[in-house]
Amino acid sequence: MGLDDSIIRKRTFEFARAIVRFTTVLKGERHYEIARQLLKSGTSIGANVREAQRGVSTKDFKNKLGISLKEADETEYWLQIIDLEIKKVPEELLKEVDEIMRMLVTIIKNS
């Protein structure tokens, strides 16, 4: 159940940093509400991955990763809305959230 130096932990941390940078741009363009939504879900992915490593059981571990997966799905939703209605979202953000979701599904299934 350890994720200390795992790829998923590192990638979700770097993804959160990219989300913070992107939402700063959105706020600068006065898209405050959607930036807030994206910031909350996009940073929550990694926070829940970190929490999962402190899980007291396999069930707790999988539950926290399940929350991360839900947050990743919500983040993808906000990125798609922004991309269609507000401004072009960097392709690497869309690609990374998809890859993170795939990784989380695999970890959950194999735990």
Segment-wise mean pLDDT, segments of 10 residues, the chain, 111 residues: 74 98 98 98 97 89 97 98 97 98 96 89
Residue 26 vs residues 12, 36, 71, 89: alpha-carbon distances, Å: 20, 9, 20, 10
CATH topology of domain 7-109: de novo design (two linked rop proteins) (1.20.1440)
pLDDT at site 42:
98
User: For the whole model, what pTM was predicted?
Assistant: 0.93
Start-end of H helices in 1-111: 7-28, 32-52, 58-85, 91-109
pLDDT given for residue 1 in this prediction: 45
The domain locations on the chain are: 7-109
Position 5 scores a pLDDT of 66
